[in-house]
Amino acid sequence: MKRENFSRKRQAILEAIRGTQIHPTAEWVYQAVKPQYPDLSLGTVYRNIARFKEDGLILSIGVVQGQERFDGDVHPHNHFICSECGAVLDLTERYLYDDVHQILSQKYGAQVISHELIFRGVCKECLEKSKSSGQKGA
């Protein structure tokens, strides 16, 4: 019976990550799944996230404002990270040509398997907030 529960929790954790586009933290996932599984521990969330990363079911976007962020969309795509609020946005535009892996592999004598492209800056919402607060003070 316990094994079945663990399996359901694991599935709920994965669905929480895949079911949002905010690129959640482990803490966010814990808070989202905890109401459904009151005996859920943060350690269980971290262990399952580590396993999902290992199995290629989710991606780590990296550490944003001190917390690792995750993506349930494992298809190749790029990201934009806001340096003000920490928002992580998916970018669907293709910024590199299709044969970049082959070109780099040949140039450096390595085998390129994948790549990540992350843009950093200030998101639209934060720009609008700074404009409106700047106008009030003027």
Give the range among 25-34, 73-82, 89-98, 126-135 with minimum mean pLDDT.
89-98
Read off the pLDDT of residues 116-136 as tens digits, 9 standing for 90 and up: 889 999 999 999 999 988 765
Same domain, 68 and 80: no
CATH number at residue 108: 3.30.1490.190
Count of domains observed in the chain: 2
Looking at the predicted structure, is the pLDDT value of residue 2 above 70? no
Same domain, 58 and 95: no
CATH number at residue 6: 1.10.10.10
Read off the pLDDT of residues 96-120 as tens digits, 9 standing for 90 and up: 767 888 899 999 999 988 888 899 9
Q: How far is CA 95 from CA 17, 57, 80, 92, 103, in A?
A: 26, 24, 13, 9, 15
Same domain, 87 and 67: no
Signed CA dihedral, 93, 98, 102, 104: sign only: negative
Contact (CB, 8 A) for 61 and 70? yes
Average pLDDT, the chain: 91
Mean pLDDT of 48-74: 97
138 confidence band (pLDDT: 50, 70, 90) = very low
Q: What is the reported pLDDT for 137?
A: 47
Q: What is the pTM of this model?
A: 0.83
Identify which of 120, 118, 116 has the alpha carbon closest to the alpha carbon of residue 82.
Answer: 120
* Owning domain of residue 88: 76-138
3-state SS class at 5: helix
Distance CA 3, CA 9 (A): 10
Same domain, 87 and 115: yes
